Chain A
């Protein structure tokens, strides 16, 4: 029964986070995720159920325009989709990502996502982040399992970073992640000698193994690591300009941490506000521009570092194939993922298109899902981190051949 599953998880989340071995408790400053043969993985979660068919409209499928008479992204005119491959288009507000697609550094995966049938935001996000599609009561998140695996051999305090006010569920696991909202405020606000003394005292007072202790000690070691670095001198490179939005600001913080070379192995950043049950035409453009301009700025800022960084985006589900009377869409199923980086076999749309005829749709009229998102992530980990056994990260999932979304790491 799923109630029991959820309850179990809530409890275990508090009480029984596995103990860390002592090596992992000590932050080894300077250990770098880059250069150890693995890409830094940056995971972007679009909270709320982003409308993949507005991000990457299937222009070749006439049914798309029938089902969405007022909100389809048109093929022609001022607000036309940008052509990707003669079949699919890109939302015009995502223009800043088009050059990356064109030169092969961005790939689109369509009709993909979570295969679980839930249409609840909260269940879908939770299941997707834990990659617990078969409800096996997995506690860790998929990235938490990856960081805790032997493949990701890195003892930095900053190996797993969740940017924002809360830690993403996908990061939970054997390694205590660092939650950071702003580097500037990531320190104690006490002047003088007392500052270091209080840090030391708190470290002693939080010497046990509860979640509170682990988080507190992780906070203290992270504060110390950051204090050794002049993060103020790290500015966006290559003329990159991050949007002044929350998402843009948070990505800029992640970029700073990566450029500080303090061992970031995975980073998560969320962007919310995608639950467009109404007025999609008004709500979508600004949000997509923020999303795209931020990712474009990040890739520009990173420059050659993108050889060793891969970004992947996901959302808990796509939206209903047809629009509702409010000019929006209700919760759906199949969706879009984006993969970006120099190690991406980009410039193409990977899709086994299920079609939009009534008989093609699933549930109450949703795009079907023909590519399990775990297949995309397995390919990512195999090719870009050298992970040999993706079933450790995705228990119960078997990868049935690769689509070639990611280039094997040189």
Chain B
């Protein structure tokens, strides 16, 4: 089946749903308290829930699909947005037990590495593993998606000097606390984060020769966007505003404003006068101006829409999100609510190519693998092979979110091979669980189509897959249990490599 017919399928489901009168309530916004609980409405087609989970989670696990069926579309989203109400489950326990550096201070990490008590890269590795584990296994799936989004948005390279230590603090105290919070708070916290201060050189930005690196990326990448209406002169002026911002090695590398290094003269930023003598306040003023700027509202809204809806999101959706952004002073949860309850979110069933980590985590989630230390390290090894190990993008713009970037010959081969590797490692019991008691090639394939691929192949492709798995044997032949498991494994390899598993 082509992707077109898949889109048609989803469109039909939507049509059916609205015909069953669920539509308006399904898409009702938060203010509409009068709508019936979803459980009293007609059941929502699985296609719709699979689409939802494909977008808000790192892959459609059986557990989450069951939860979405139980709660319904609206309440599932409400629950995911209210992420603190969800027990993050085993994964946080596993992280606490296995990855102790996640809770260390910067000074502790640096001292441990300097004394040789811990490897130089250990803190970075533990953070990478924890990040992937949370993506693959946390039940707070939308929250982890938001953490991923802001990690890319405020990208720092963990291979750059002390960021191998600082990123642990940045992740724990800047990105995660604000991922579904307020953008202004997030921006201010990020500007003071030692990881960002170091990465974009603000830590040694002084009046004797301002360093423009942070100022430029702050406007181009973090807030206004490259066409958001700033000039080269603004870059220079903003860099002057941030002179003296640094971190203090004697105080756990925390933010410090050094008056001596600050340019106390007056500045003009975006046609606004910042009077002389402002000191540390200059930077705060700039951050406030940028956090509440209409260009920022649109830039962030568009970027979220690209991530969660489509690579060319409808202007109307971006407008609505930007309005919410402006009207709520940058409340990220509310902006996401606008996005997720928009009609565009459901209309845009056009597939987005899974990024490499999406691909791999979705494989693990749909296979029902759970968090354990063996899997943890395997995940990181695969993310490295696939070219998307967390925090390793070498530029300040974060891993690309364009399918065109990720689709190339090397990437396809790497995907196929990483899936083969994982499927080869599955225990017989795990494969057996996926096919239940199916014993004929056609029944095995059917079980994997519904439980793994969540998509039915066209007949011709079904025959090709069966031929690959069991040769010329009849599709209705009853196989021995070991042969059935072997056939299922072969089918899984094909299905995971097929087009139907590449997009979300």
Say if the beta carbon of A150 comes within 8 Å of chain B: no
Q: Are A325 and B204 in contact (CB under 8 A)?
A: yes
Name A272's closest neighbour in chain B (CB-CB). Answer: B394
Q: Are B204 and A278 in contact (CB under 8 A)?
A: yes
A245-296 interface (Cβ within 8 A of B): 272-273, 275, 277-278
Interface of B is mostly: helix
Residues from chain A with a CB closer than 8 A to the CB of B96 are: none
Known A3-B227, A273-B394: A201·B494 in contact at CB below 8 Å = yes
Q: How far is the CA of A137 from the CA of B126 in the complex (A)?
A: 43
Residues from chain B with a CB closer than 8 A to the CB of A178 are: 409-410
Say if the beta carbon of B233 comes within 8 Å of chain A: yes
Least CB distance, A72 to chain B, in whole angstroms: 15
Residues from chain B with a CB closer than 8 A to the CB of A13 are: 402-404
Say if the beta carbon of B201 comes within 8 Å of chain A: yes
Q: How far is the CA of A215 from the CA of B410 in the complex (A)?
A: 9
Name B233's closest neighbour in chain A (CB-CB). Answer: A364
Residues from chain B with a CB closer than 8 A to the CB of A198 are: 468, 493-494, 497
Q: How far is the CA of A219 from the CA of B410 in the complex (A)?
A: 7
Q: How far is the CA of A196 from the CA of B120 in the complex (A)?
A: 43
Residues from chain A with a CB closer than 8 A to the CB of B387 are: 165-166, 181
Q: Are B232 and A188 in contact (CB under 8 A)?
A: no
Q: Are B409 and A324 in contact (CB under 8 A)?
A: no
Name A167's closest neighbour in chain B (CB-CB). Answer: B408
Which listed residue, A14, A162, A186, touches B408 by the CB 8 Å rule?
A162
Known A178-B409, A325-B208: A277·B416 in contact at CB below 8 Å = no
Least CB distance, B195 to chain A, in whole angstroms: 16
Q: Are B499 and A14 in contact (CB under 8 A)?
A: no
Residues from chain A with a CB closer than 8 A to the CB of B312 are: 7, 10-11
Interface size on B, residues (CB 8 A): 59
Known A177-B408, A201-B468, A326-B211: A119·B216 in contact at CB below 8 Å = yes
Q: Are A325 and B417 in contact (CB under 8 A)?
A: no
Residues from chain B with a CB closer than 8 A to the CB of A188 are: 413, 416-417, 420
6 closest residue pairs by CB, A with B: A325-B209, A13-B404, A179-B408, A219-B409, A179-B410, A165-B387
The 22 listed contacts between A and B (C-beta, < 8 Å) are: A1-B227, A2-B226, A10-B402, A14-B403, A120-B220, A121-B397, A122-B226, A166-B405, A166-B406, A176-B409, A180-B409, A181-B387, A185-B413, A186-B413, A198-B468, A201-B494, A205-B494, A215-B408, A219-B409, A325-B206, A325-B207, A330-B211
Residues of A at the B interface (CB closer than 8 Å) are 1-3, 7, 10-11, 13-14, 47-48, 118-123, 162, 165-167, 172, 176-181, 185-190, 194, 197-198, 201-202, 204-206, 208, 210-213, 215-216, 218-219, 222-223, 272-273, 275, 277-278, 323-326, 328, 330-331, 363-364
Further 14 A-B residue pairs, CB within 8 A, beyond A10-B311, A119-B216? A3-B225, A14-B311, A47-B394, A47-B395, A119-B232, A122-B395, A179-B408, A201-B465, A201-B468, A202-B497, A205-B499, A277-B213, A325-B210, A364-B233
